[in-house]
Structure 1
Amino acid sequence: MNDSVRISRRAFAGGLGLLGLGRVPALAQGFAGLGENAEGFAPVVPGKTFAFPADHGPHPGFRIEWWYVTANLKDSTGAAYGAQWTLFRQASRPGAQQEGWANQQIWMGHAAVTRADIHRYSEAFARGGVGQAGVETKPFQAWIDSWEMRGGEAMRAAMLAPLELTASGAGFSYTLRLDADRPLVLQGNAGYSRKSERGQASYYYSQPFFKVTGRISIGDKPAEVAGLAWMDREWSSQPLAPDQTGWDWFSLHLDSGEKLMLYRLRQKDGRADLFGNWIEPDGRSSEIASGDNTMTPTASTEIEDRKVPTGWRIVIPARGLRIETTPLNAMSWMGTSFPYWEGPISFAGSHAGLGYLELTGY
Structure 2
Amino acid sequence: MSQRSKPQRPKLRILSYLLVITFFGIILSVGTYYSYYAQVGERGVNEVNAVLMSENKKVFEPVLPDRNISLPQDFQFHPDFQHEWWHYFANVEDESGEKFSIQWSFFRIATDERETTGWQSPQLFISNVVITSKSQVWKEQRLARGGIGQAGMNNRPFRIWIDNWNWRSLGTTPFPGRLSISTDTFGIELNSITKGPYVLNGENGYQEKHDLLPVASYSFSAPFLSLNGSLTLEGETKVVSGTAWLQKEWGSGLLGEGQQGWDWFVFNLEDGSSLSINRYRHNQQLPYVFGTLATRSGRVFQLTEADIEITPLNNTTLFNGRRLPLQWIINVPEHQINLTTRIQRRDMWLPFVIPYWEGPIMASGSHEAVGFMQLTGY
TM bin (shorter chain): 0.7 to 0.9
Distance 1:170 1:262 in 2: 35
Instruction: Identify the match of residue 366 of structure 2 among 329, 337, 350.
Output: 350
2:48 is paired with a residue whose SS is coil
Task: Tell me how far apart the structure 2 counterparts of residues 168 and 262 of structure 1 sit (CA, whole Å).
Answer: 32
Superposed CA RMSD in Å reads 1.7
Q: CA deviation at 1:101?
A: 1.3
Q: Distance in 2 between matches of 1:76 and 1:333?
A: 29
- The 1-side partners of 2:309 and 2:146 are apart by 41
Closer, same or farther: CA 292–38 of 1 in aligned 2, 3 Å: farther
Q: Paired residue for 1:111?
A: 129
Contact 1:115 1:329 in 2 (8 A): no
Matched AA of 2:169: G
Aligned residues: 332
CA distance in 1, matches of 2:235, 2:365: 37
Corresponding residue for residue 182 of structure 1: 196
**In 1: Cα distance, 2:257 partner to 2:127 partner:** 25
Structure exhibiting the larger radius of gyration computed from Cα positions: 2
Q: Does 1:124 align with 2:142?
A: yes
**Is the CA contact (8 Å cut-off) linking 2:190 and 2:227 kept in structure 1?**
yes
Using the TM superposition, give the Cα deviation of residue 162 of structure 1 relative to its aligned residue in structure 2, in angstroms.
0.7
Measure, in 2, the Cα distance between the counterparts of 1:222 and 1:335. 27
> Identity of aligned pairs, percent?
33
Aligned to 1:311: 327
Stretches of structure 2 that go unaligned for 5 or more consecutive residues are: 1-44
Partner of 1:264: 279
Kept in 1, the 8 Å contact 2:69–2:218? The answer is: no
- On the 8 A contact 2:192/2:228 being kept in 1, the answer is yes
Q: Is the 8 A contact 1:111 1:168 kept in 2?
A: no
What does 1:276-287 align with in structure 2 at a 5 Å threshold? 276-287=291-302
Equivalent of 2:66 in 47, 56, 70: 47
| Higher RCO (C-alpha 8 Å, min separation 6) | 1
**1:181 Cα deviation after fit:** 3.3
1:227 to 239, 242, 259: 242
Deviation at 1:34, TM superposition (A): 2.5
Query: Is the Cα–Cα contact under 8 Å of residues 26 and 338 in structure 1 kept in the other structure?
Result: no
In the alignment, structure 1 segments of 5+ residues that lack a partner are 1-24
**Residue 338 (structure 2) aligned to one of 306, 322, 327:** 322
Shift of 1:169: 3.5
Which SS does the other structure have where 1:55 is aligned?
Answer: helix
Match of 1:8 in 2: none
Cα displacement (A) at 1:109: 0.8
Conserved in 2, the CA contact under 8 Å of 1:133 and 1:142?
A: yes
How far is 1:282 from its partner? 1.5
2:197 touches 2:296 (CA, 8 Å); kept in 1? no
- 1-structure distance, mates of 2:314, 2:183: 30
The alignment status of 1:240 with 2:255, answered yes or no, reads yes
The structure whose residues are more often strand, as a share, is 1
Q: Confirm or deny: 8 A CA contact 2:52 2:254 kept in the other structure.
A: no
Residue 182 of structure 1: CA displacement? Answer: 2.8
Q: For 2:56 and 2:223, locate their aligned partners in 1 and report how far apart those are by CA, in whole Å.
A: 32
Deviations 1:135-187 (A, max 9, x none): 1111000100000111124x6x3xx4111002233522211111113332111
Matched, 1:253 2:268: yes
Q: After superposition, give the CA deviation of every residue in 1:177-209 in whole Å (9 maximum; x if it has no partner).
A: 111133321111110001101210000000101
Distance in structure 2 (CA, Å) of the matches to 1:50 and 1:74: 34
Q: Is the 8 A contact 1:118 1:329 kept in 2?
A: no
Q: TM-score, normalised by structure 1?
A: 0.87
Range that drifts further, 51-60 or 128-137: 51-60
Residue of structure 1 aligned with 2:224, choices 176, 184, 209: 209
